[in-house]
């Protein structure tokens, strides 16, 4: 995922609006049609814009935002109170195994290790 802040001036308005919507609603159950409706364009237009300017899909971008937020929450969590799955669920990850695989691919460590602070 390219850095949104560094590239925002060069991005088209459609992309900036979609990215803003994703960041503001990552905790909600949203999909491609929700993103498109929120910015008044077609789902195909959203897909094309993300591919052209970011080299990814809107849903992959959303997934990465959610992983980043889960990572942040795991770092700040109390391991005696919080669980990996509670934090993952907060960011709309419902399958423990898939979350763990995606997390490890993104951050190079299992989410349980991040939670423990190891």
- H-state helical runs in the chain: 4-7, 13-25, 32-38, 43-54, 58-76, 84-90, 96-107, 111-116
pLDDT classification of 11: cutoffs 50, 70, 90: confident
Mean pLDDT of 6-16: 75
Look at residue 78 in the predicted model and tell me its pLDDT.
95
Mean pLDDT value across residues 35-62: 97
**pLDDT of amino acid 8:** 59
* CATH match for 65-116 among 3.30.1490, 1.10.10, 3.10.450, 3.30.70: 1.10.10
- Provide the whole-model pTM: 0.88
Each domain of the chain, given as residue ranges in start order, spans 4-62, 65-116
* Residues ≥6 apart with Cβ < 8 Å to 15: 49, 50, 53, 54
To the nearest whole number, what is the mean pLDDT of the chain? 93
Average the pLDDT over 104-116 and give the result: 97
């Amino acid at each position: 995922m390219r850095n949104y802040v560094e590239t925002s001036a060069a991005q088209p308005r459609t992309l900036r609006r979609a990215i803003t919507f994703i960041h503001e609603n990552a905790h909600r159950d949203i999909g491609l049609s929700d993103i498109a409706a929120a910015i008044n364009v077609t789902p195909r237009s959203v897909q094309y814009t993300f591919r052209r300017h970011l080299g990814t899909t809107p849903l992959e971008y959303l997934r990465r935002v959610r992983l980043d937020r889960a990572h942040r929450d795991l770092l700040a969590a109390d391991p005696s109170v919080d669980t990996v799955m509670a934090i993952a669920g907060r960011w709309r990850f419902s399958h423990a195994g898939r979350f763990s695989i995606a997390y490890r691919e993104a951050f190079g460590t299992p989410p349980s290790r991040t939670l423990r602070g190891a």
